[in-house]
Amino acid sequence: MVDLTRKFDVLVIGGGNAALCAAISARRAGASVLVLEGAPKFYRGGNTRHTRNMRCAHDSATDILTGPYTEEEFWNDLLVVTGGQTDEELAKFMIRESKDILGWVVEQGVRWQPSLGGTLSLGRTNSFFLGGGRAMLNALYLTAEKLGVDILYDAEVLDLEIDNGMFLSAALKQGDGRADVRASALVAAAGGFEANIEWLREYWGEAADNFLIRGTPYNRGSILKMLLAKGVQEIGDPTQCHAVAIDARAPKFDGGIITRHDSVVFGIVVNNHAQRFYDEGEDIWPKRYAIWGRLVAAQPDQIAYIIFDSTVVTSFMPTLFPPIAGESIAELAAKLELDPAALEKTVADFNAAVQPGTFDHTILDDCRTEGVTPAKTHWARRIETAPYLAYPVRPGITFTYLGTRVNKQSRMLMKDGKPAANMFAAGEIMAGNVLGKGYAAGIGMTIGSVFGRVAGREAAKNAKN
């Protein structure tokens, strides 16, 4: 049993990668640490459950990385994906620290492996967790427990007592009542609000009701909301979230990675009026897959259909849900409850516009359309071999960008610009500092581990003074 009457040196709220790195680093610095994870034990870890790799800079190839990935290259990649919406000082600090993190997490029990089958494009830049994100979490929890970190599950925090930038206590739900948990320093690592449909509805309206959430239902952003309400400076566009197109048959929450679709570039995408709405061949898929969630969110009823034919089935990863099939376009349309004549016309117009070319999905090839709007600028091939196939897709929300402003110590900044006395933030809850928009695979885990480790260390130091 955890003694909640004592005053802890460091209270960590959250239970994912950032929270555990903070807890371990604070404990290793000599602090007493309590972790409050809002989810039950099985669902612990927030979005970390579904991750599989981390992007860290390294100057040479390693056992599991095929080549060097320099700080400059990492910085340039970050500039590209964020369109410059990043805090340069913090971002460069994170990138520098990421080099050391590769070895540090191994010391905490995490194991690496080379990039997984089907992810060769990340083999040089990203280190993969052996056994995936939950295996990584399990290792961190075992280490934290061994070090003597106290951990509570199903630990819902109802309120934070903060006085002028100084954290005093957290009100922990206990049955019908509450217990005040006191600590000398706070690390908030409780993620974003992607599972909070009501909050999403504030920005997206009723469309939000049709969103699927890729992670657990526990990512409700309640800690973020409390902090912002109590004077912490916010960062990141509150209206934005990272959304990809996932299978419409996926569960409302926690479908994870296996509901994604990589087949957009091999076919066309239509809305429920059977009309195309965007260039499916704009760029190499990993660079573009994250725009499709928002594109589908803008369509009527937030649904779309990837349409392809039987010649390309083996070109992408096997999928959890089988494609819906029809012997003719009209039959397929009927199964999808689309207007058969409209879909037949869309496919016929597209097929007629396809120009001759040499197909190569690994490069921006010369297979394109002419005379159809929108154009498909690469990998355009006629859809003409039965059976015709389709995946229904909806927006799958991964994470949100709104967060708390921090400095290089991972210390929160208050609305007046002053650093908080004893409050730190790590992980998705402050990712917006570095990642104003966009995404690059594995960068969420980099933010979590780097700032988690820093926050834990600084919080421990803070608690001792």
Partner 1 sequence: MHGTRILEEADRLMTVCNSCRYCEGLCAVFPAMEMRRSFSDGDLNYLANLCHSCGACYTDCQFSPPHEFNVNVPQTLAIARNESYAAYAWPRAFSGAFARNGLAISVIAALSVAAFIFGFAAFTDRQVLLGIHTGPGAFYQLMPHNAMAALFGAAFLYAIAALIMGVRAFWRDIGEPVGMKTDAKSLLQAIRDAGELRYLDGGGVGCFNEDDKPTDRRKIYHHLTFYGFALCFAATCVATLYHYLFAREAPYAWWDLPVVLGTLGGIGLLIGPVGLLAEKWKRDPVLVDEARMGMDVAFIAMLFLTGLTGIALLLWRDTAAMGPLLALHLGVVFALFVTMPYGKFVHGIYRFVALVRYARERQMMGHV
Q: What are the angstrom distances between the C-alpha of 416 and each of 88, 161, 223, 233, 322?
A: 21, 19, 20, 8, 54
> Is the Cβ–Cβ distance between 396 and 212 less than 8 Å?
yes
Strand partners, 73: none
Sign of dihedral through CA atoms 139, 143, 146, 149? negative
How far is residue 146's CA from residue 155's CA, in Å, rounded to a whole number?
Answer: 21
Number of helical (H) and strand (E) elements in the chain, helices listed first = 11, 19
Q: Closer to partner 1 by CB, 119 or 377: give it.
A: 119
Residue 386 binds to partner 1 (criterion: CB under 8 A): no
Residues 45-74 that bind partner 1 (CB under 8 A): 49-50, 52
Please tell me what DSSP assigns to residue 72: H
Q: What are the angstrom distances between the C-alpha of 127 and each of 5, 151, 443?
A: 41, 28, 11
Q: Closer to partner 1 by CB, 117 or 148: give it.
A: 117
Map residues 114-143 to x or -, x wherever contact with partner 1 holds by CB under 8 A. x-xxx---------xxxxxxxx--x---x-
Cβ–Cβ contacts within 10 Å for residue 297, how many? 21
Q: Closer to partner 1 by CB, 129 or 204: give it.
A: 129
How far is residue 355's CA from residue 122's CA, in Å, rounded to a whole number?
Answer: 31
Tokens encoding 12? 């960590």
Residue 310 binds to partner 1 (criterion: CB under 8 A): no
Taking the complex as a whole, how short is the minimal distance between the CB of residue 82 and partner 1, in angstroms?
Answer: 27
Q: Closer to partner 1 by CB, 83 or 118: give it.
A: 118
Map residues 24-43 to x or -, x wherever contact with partner 1 holds by CB under 8 A. ------------------x-
Taking the complex as a whole, how short is the minimal distance between the CB of residue 152 and partner 1, in angstroms?
Answer: 17
Taking the complex as a whole, how short is the minimal distance between the CB of residue 106 and partner 1, in angstroms?
Answer: 12
Taking the complex as a whole, how short is the minimal distance between the CB of residue 49 and partner 1, in angstroms?
Answer: 5
- The residue within the footprint of partner 1, chosen from 5, 314, 358, 362 (CB under 8 A), is 314
Q: Closer to partner 1 by CB, 116 or 197: give it.
A: 116
What kind and span of H or E run contains 138? helix 132-147
Residues 220-259 that bind partner 1 (CB under 8 A): 251, 254, 256-258
Residue 319 binds to partner 1 (criterion: CB under 8 A): yes
Q: Closer to partner 1 by CB, 277 or 316: give it.
A: 316
Map residues 255-284 to x or -, x wherever contact with partner 1 holds by CB under 8 A. -xxx--------------------------
Q: What are the angstrom distances between the C-alpha of 289 and each of 197, 235, 236, 245, 281?
A: 23, 25, 21, 8, 11
Instruction: State the residue for tokens 């087949």.
Output: 263
Choices 222-230, 318-326, 338-346, 370-378; region in contact with partner 1 by CB under 8 A: 318-326
Taking the complex as a whole, how short is the minimal distance between the CB of residue 219 and partner 1, in angstroms?
Answer: 14
- Kindly report the backbone phi and psi dihedral angles of residue 232, in degrees, each rounded to the nearest multiple of 5, phi listed first: -80, 140
Residue 113 binds to partner 1 (criterion: CB under 8 A): yes
Residues 172-211 that bind partner 1 (CB under 8 A): none
Residues 141-160 that bind partner 1 (CB under 8 A): 142
Closest CA to 94 of 465, 396, 447: 447
Taking the complex as a whole, how short is the minimal distance between the CB of residue 111 and partner 1, in angstroms?
Answer: 6
How far is residue 430's CA from residue 16's CA, in Å, rounded to a whole number?
Answer: 14
Cβ–Cβ contacts within 10 Å for residue 116, how many? 15
Residue 456 binds to partner 1 (criterion: CB under 8 A): no
**Which residues are at the interface with partner 1 (CB under 8 A)?**
42, 49-50, 52, 111, 113-114, 116-118, 128-135, 138, 142, 251, 254, 256-258, 314, 317-320
